[in-house]
Structure 1
Amino acid sequence: MKIINTIEELQTIRKELKGTIGFVPTMGALHEGHISLIKNARINNDIVIVSIFLNPTQFLPNEDLDKYPKKDAADKRICELCKVDYLFMPDVNSMYQSNDEISIKAPKITGFILEGEKRPGHFDGVLQVVLKLFNLVQPSNAYFGKKDAQQLSLISQMVKNLFLPINIVECDIIREADGLAMSSRNIYLSAEERKEALAISKSLNMTIIAVTKGERDAQTIKTKMKEIMSNLDVEYIAIVNRNFEEIQTIEVKNTIILIACKVGDTRLIDNMWI
């Protein structure tokens, strides 16, 4: 595995690469969720490139940029074990060259609901850095987890709207043995908070059981989910179709149920695709 730290080196290497390129963009602190993306890329591409870049433009002023977990040595080892070909680890000054850059704006509707409403400007930063990385890596396939469902939808829309020749590969959520969705922020949870957080996946699992038994009313399902998560600080429960339009009736194979909540001081998101 070769580690690349500069834009210029990546561009030089990229010109020489042949075959399909699988790309996994990350912010580091890699876990089994990231590993599943890398493994998918390894199986289906000639070359695998992973990036680790803690992107400041997607964090709001009061968020956890400064304390976001950094595990560079462990991340490098994980990438080596997963047989990554190139690991791109640029610094902030390389990725953002001025304070007056051309910016990318999230869509006016789907970019400003749910996570976009709770974290205004977040998706602008996400789309900006992903577009930069896409332009540098020029991947054949790019791998993203379904856990960040709204992000995944917006990146797919950006690829479509800007005519980028990239296939976006949606990858299933990877969970801990107890059901908690893998997240770099899980390390913030105390032992007691970790137990409390299990109400999130429990509420989502309940929706599968309810739908299997024939329940289709979105409000009924939301009410039951709130009961299960009554001890958590729930920011939102949303039931939408794949276009992120709110729906009142569950549509099998076209529904996403999303949750955002705080467990202690830690903000977690999770979802279920039905």
Structure 2
Amino acid sequence: MKVFHGIAELRAALKVLRQEGKSVGLVPTMGALHPGHLSLLSQSVAQNDVSVASIFVNPIQFNNPEDLEKYPRREEEDLEQLRLGGCDFVFMPTPEEMYRDKSSQLNMSFGHLEKVLEGAFRPGHFSGVGVVVSKLFNIVQPDRAYFGQKDLQQLAVIKKLTFDLNFPVEIVAVPIMRETNGLAMSSRNLRLTPQERDVAAQLYQSMEQLKANVLEGQSITEAIRGAVDRLKDLDNVELEYMEAVESDTMRQVTALDAGCDVSLCAAAYVSGVRIIDNLYLTS
């Protein structure tokens, strides 16, 4: 496994492999890796000749400076996990390498996708995601790129980005991996105690009950209201949103329609740590 910090060096190494006809898979990460990340890498290794993982805590997708400062960083452990997982190249740039002109920052707009759910609560977040993913696609020029379904709205943004900008990249969505209590695996979980993780898992448990209620005939509106009421009774939990949406557009839905993929999406603060989750209602 080779580690690259510079764009030019990584491009040069990949150019040689591409000239040999080798396929390239990209696994973008912000580090603090967990089994969910490694499941992305596993798919890339299975489907490509060369797998590239990036570790870059992207500053321009954080609208909260404190969240950026507290984001977990475990470079040595991450590199060892990637090596054991069969990664070929690791790209670990500095912010200065990725953003050479701090005086002028590129912005992207994703229309409705950036005005609801995560977009509404984290203004500018998806612009930052779009910029860094575009840069990574341009630098690595992968045949396939792997993203987790835990960030369902981000996945929708990246699919739109890829389509609108004509990137010749296949976007591969990988299912959520969960801890034994149901909590979606996330780097931010490292900031929670075991007891707090059990509390956080009740977000998913509430969504599972919500799904069961809807499939049994309860209206989506009533089922969400019941789930929200249950979460209000928990200490140290502050729910931001819980909605049923079209899985690809994030447009709110209030009834199940044939042929429409619907997901439940939610976000909450648990002891000051923000967690997100989603669950397919119909697919």
Q: Distance in 2 between matches of 1:257 and 1:92?
A: 34
Q: Distance in 1 between matches of 2:105 and 2:11?
A: 21
Superposition pairs of residues 27-176 of structure 1, within 5 angstroms: 27-101=30-104, 103-176=106-179
> Which of 220, 224, 235 is residue 240 of structure 2 equivalent to?
235
Describe the superposition over 1:59-118 as per-residue Cα deviations: whole angstroms up to 9, x where unpaired. 114441112111111100001101101011111110000123451313122112111111
Q: State the AA in 1 paired with 2:276.
A: I
Deviates more, 1:105-114 or 1:167-176: 105-114
Kept after mapping to 1: 8 A contact 2:181/2:198:
no
Deviates more, 1:185-194 or 1:92-101: 185-194
User: Do the aligned partners of residues 251 and 144 (structure 1) sit closer, same or farther apart at CA in structure 2, a change above 3 Å counting?
Assistant: farther
Aligned-residue offset at 1:218:
1.6
What SS does structure 1 have at the residue aligned with 2:90?
Answer: strand
What SS does structure 1 have at the residue aligned with 2:111?
Answer: coil
User: Over aligned residues, Cα RMSD in angstroms?
Assistant: 1.4
Q: State the AA in 2 paired with 1:248.
A: T
Aligned position for 2:14: 14
- If the length of structure 2 is used for normalisation, what is the TM-score? 0.92
Count of aligned residue pairs for this structure pair = 273
Q: Distance in 2 between matches of 1:199 and 1:187?
A: 17
Q: Distance in 1 between matches of 2:109 and 2:118?
A: 12
Aligned-residue offset at 1:56:
0.4
Aligned-residue offset at 1:207:
2.9
Q: Distance in 2 between matches of 1:180 and 1:195?
A: 8
Kept after mapping to 1: 8 A contact 2:149/2:175:
yes
> Which of 223, 244, 250 is residue 244 of structure 1 equivalent to?
250
What's the % identity of the aligned pairs? 38
Q: Distance in 1 between matches of 2:257 and 2:14?
A: 43
- If the length of structure 1 is used for normalisation, what is the TM-score? 0.95
Gaps of 5+ in 1: none
Deviates more, 1:62-71 or 1:261-270: 62-71
Aligned-residue offset at 1:251:
4.1
Aligned position for 1:254: 261
Q: State the AA in 2 paired with 1:3.
A: V
Aligned position for 2:4: 4
Kept after mapping to 2: 8 A contact 1:5/1:90:
yes
Task: Report the structure, 1 or 2, having the larger helix content.
Answer: 2
